[in-house]
Structure 1
Amino acid sequence: MNSARISELLKTRPKTNVSWGLYSVVAPKGVKPDLGIAVAKKLVKRAVDRNRLKRMIRELVWTAQAGSLNNDVVIKLKKPIGRQTRGRLRKKEKDLLRSQVTELI
């Protein structure tokens, strides 16, 4: 997904919840839907946790798109994680974030 397409998506009104924003627009006909993920270093300090979140989001979106979703999607983290656990993503938080993303999709 190129920067022009991402900018276009970010101008749309997102579906949001406590931690995530989901920007979605119908993909042009004949074009495979794209996925963009924004997990800022300021919000998730450890690279291991940022990568783990990105893998989790990719998995959730791909399973949703395999069913019926045919949209270009950008998912953006809005709230810092790991404040109570010294900046580390724990299983309890990961499960909570996973359920929040699932609700959006």
Structure 2
Amino acid sequence: MYWGFYAAPALAGSKPDLGVAVAKKLAKRAVDRNRLKRMIRELVWTAQASTLKKDVVVKLKKPIGRETRGRLRKKEKELLRSQMSGLI
């Protein structure tokens, strides 16, 4: 599992918050870190708008792109997206 997913109940009367952490040590290229953050934001915001009414922090726990010389490929993106969807 590549992701750490932490949730806490949102305060009454406030909108749920989101925190995303993708370390440079785990995803070398800035392009890939930004792409992962956008993907996470999209998935969590849609879940928070419909069913998930909690504050959420998502953290990348394992390095990505080791087999592809540090680049995030389509196959890896789909794997990461499916794991993240499974957590939500």
Instruction: Report sequence identity in percent.
Output: 76
- The 3-state SS of whatever aligns with 2:7 is strand
Instruction: List runs of 5+ in structure 2 lacking aligned partners.
Output: none
In the alignment, the residues of structure 2 paired with residue 57 and residue 77 of structure 1 have an alpha-carbon distance, to the nearest angstrom, of: 10
Q: Name which of 39, 48, 55 aligns with 1:65.
A: 48
After TM superposition, the runs of 4+ consecutive aligned structure 1 residues lying more than 3 A away are none
Counterpart for residue 64 of structure 2 = 81
- The 3-state SS of whatever aligns with 1:89 is coil
Q: Structure 2 matches for 1:6-85, cutoff 5 A?
A: 18-85=1-68
Q: What's the offset of the Cα at 1:37?
A: 0.3
Q: Per-residue displacement from partner, 1:15-58 (whole Å, max 9, x unpaired)?
A: xxx11010100001001110000000000000000000000000
Q: What's the offset of the Cα at 1:66?
A: 1.3
Aligned length: 88
Larger RCO: 1 or 2 (CA < 8 Å, sep 6+): 2
Instruction: List runs of 5+ in structure 1 lacking aligned partners.
Output: 1-17
Question: Which TM-score applies when normalising by structure 1?
Answer: 0.83
Q: What RMSD, in angstroms, separates the aligned Cα atoms of the two structures?
A: 0.5
